[in-house]
Every structure is written in C-alpha cells, then in structure tokens.
Amino acid sequence: MGKAQVKMFESISVLIVFFVLLAFGIIIYAYFQKDASKVKFEEQQQVRAMRVARIAISLPELQCSKREPSEHCLDTERIAAFRSYYSTSDAVKNRYYDLLGDSRVYVVEVYPTPACTADTQCNQGPPLPNPERKCIKGACTVEVYNRLDSKKSIIHTWSPVAVFNPKTDSSNYGMLVVDVNE
C-alpha cells in the first residue's frame, strides 16, 4: 500500500469519526431541545390557565358587590344567575367562549365546611366538577363554565377567593379552579 493510499484512508477515517461525533451531538441536542420545548409548552399552558382564572375572577357577572365590587370575591347568587343565563342560548355561550376559551371554571367552597343540602352528595375523591352542586372532600363545588375536552390531559390552576352568600350575609373561603387542556 502506498503512502497516498494510507493518507487517503486516514483522511476518510477522520471524516467518518467526525460525522459520527457530529451525528451523536445532533441527537443529544435534539433530545435536550425536545425537553426544553415541552417545559416551555407547559409554562405557556399554565400562563393560559392563569389568564382564564384572572378573567373569571374579574367577570362582573360573578363578583361580589356590597356597594362596590370586591377583588377576589365571588357571589353565590350571581354564580347561580350566571349559570342559568349561560345555558340560555348559543350566542351567550359563544360570547363567553371568546373570553374563557376551552376551559372549565368551578368554585370550591373550602372553609368553613359548608353544610351539604339534600341535593348534594359527598365523595372522598378528588374535586371533580359537575353541573350540579356537589359536596366533594367536605367542600361544595359549583361549576361556573365548562367547554373543556375531557379526553385530553388537564392542567388545574387554583386561585383563592372569598365566596359570599348574600342570603346569609356571610363569606366562606374558597378556591376558583380553572382547568385547561394541555
């Protein structure tokens, strides 16, 4: 074998090693980039859920009003009125879809433990909203809005709120829960 053939073989070997290392580097980069994009996507979904929660809390249709609206306070009577108004027509549903999108919004009264009425049930499972008022984990849950695809995975976002009952002129501690699809 001549010197030229040896030099050519060395050059080809170096190129093969270079391309193998380059391919290995690209594979590692793609793997880490995929993880980074997944984290970024999850962060965007959390931001979207927080945006929907902020919009839901600030809806005047749900806010408490003793002379003036209170921040982070929801009125049980207004929630009931909103639920009946929301179910009246598709135009109303589309209006709120523009604001709240594909999400589910519900209120969970947490403390003091509300008394369950005859039409409520108690479960020990996780909070699963339902169109009817339901007692779950000792807390009453009322669904406010639901346009969620339950077949996809869901991100839950909890925001503390005061739940005001104008009939008894009392407030309970509650959570506004917003679920969005991943």
pLDDT 10s digits, 41-69: 888 888 988 999 899 888 888 888 776 66
CA-CA distances (angstroms) from residue 28 to 16, 35, 61? 18, 11, 51
Mean pLDDT score of the chain:
80
pTM for the model stands at 0.68
Q: Is the pLDDT of residue 104 over 70?
A: yes
* AA letter at 6: V
178 within 8 A of 159, measured Cβ to Cβ: yes
Q: Residue ranges per domain, the chain?
A: 42-181
* AA letter at 61: E
Q: Is the pLDDT of residue 121 over 50?
A: no
pLDDT 10s digits, 154-166: 788 888 998 888 8
